Structure 1
Amino acid sequence: MAMLSACQTISKGSADYFALVIVPNCSQAKEIVSLYRLSQGQTRLPIDTILFLDILVSKRGKGIRITTSQWLLHALLYTLRSDREWLSGLKTVVCEDLQLLDAVYEYSVSLFIHETQALPVRFIGLSYCLNDPTDLASWLHVSMQAMFSFRPRDREQSLTVSVAAFIIPHSGARFKAMSKPAYTAITEASRDGNVKLFVLSRSQCQNVAGDLIMQCAIDINTLGFLGQ
């Protein structure tokens, strides 16, 4: 929703309007870019990843600019207040991954809020499930009416947890021993629905899949997990 809101706001504005997306670090920036490009086809807005100070303060024109909290802090600390013309077209600020908030992220956004307090800028904060996000909302000057919170314990469906312990030290033998209870849990929990199975590492995926297929053969389940 934040992506669509930012894209729609900028696409309907003038040629100088832009949205700024703030992420904690460079690795998150790459993931966020791929998500925002999904909305790019509807609006044709240019999406730029800006990881350099001079580009951040000199970039002009309509679009969505994604930067890290560190480079935003550099731009605010090392440019004169008279050189803040690059903020004139700013309309929307999206703070991504607030669950990863650290000192640099907090300081850069706090300073940014102070610098844009005289501008009609909309701040949107996104985070994973938090038990109490009211402090974050207050920090971003978000009213209670505009805050949407889904706590980790709020689930639309009930969740049943069962634990099976194994004392086999070798990982290969342990995964093979786990295939039978895993197969039983899958078949008992959902015969027609989808099931997600998490393994320890990517290298074990093929071996675990082979063990589950072997359990299908032992159970004379010719269709395996293909359904009816």
Structure 2
Amino acid sequence: MVALLIADEIQLVGGEVAPTYGVVILWTWYVSAQTEIKTRIVTCGVSLANAHDLGEWIGAPSHAIFNFLPSSRPLDMDIHLQSSSIPHPPSLMIAMSKPAYLAIVEYALTKPNIIFVPSRKQCCLTVADLLVHCTVDSNLKCFLNIGEDDLQPCLEHVSDKGLVEYLKDGIGYYHEAMDKQDKHVVEWLFQSGAIQVLVIPRSVVPCPSY
């Protein structure tokens, strides 16, 4: 009796909810095929490198698969891919911190940067890794665009002392479990350009209004 199934965030099929999400979609497709009662399946997701493979997986004909180019966005976006063959997720995150740091330095040293990570816990780990790379380059406060005296009044409103230390170096993190006041301070510092790098989990809803 279902005529239309809209599967949003289809990229999650490759993540932690993959088994459940995949079964829901495939079961809908299977029931439709067996009963010959057509159910239209519409999927939406973020930019994907394998959009056509995913479309074929759910049984969509090639003419019904749309993968929009970066130039279709309101603001043009350049894409640079960094591949890795490390299968262990924690090891992968450690290995990717250096390429992330180098990408910021090469492509956006004077622009705001948002780094998406898999989880809330990974936020602090990634920030710490980025600061290690800054230290190695003897440029610890390269992401801080405000004087420390001007920054201090804002830090007095942050309850997370670990976050305070990170903000002093121009890097912040933002996730759903943070204190509300801490969120406001981090948002304001990032939007105003005082800090240049923000690390957030990909699951954060709503994301800060950058």
Which range, TM-score by smaller chain? Answer: 0.3 to 0.5
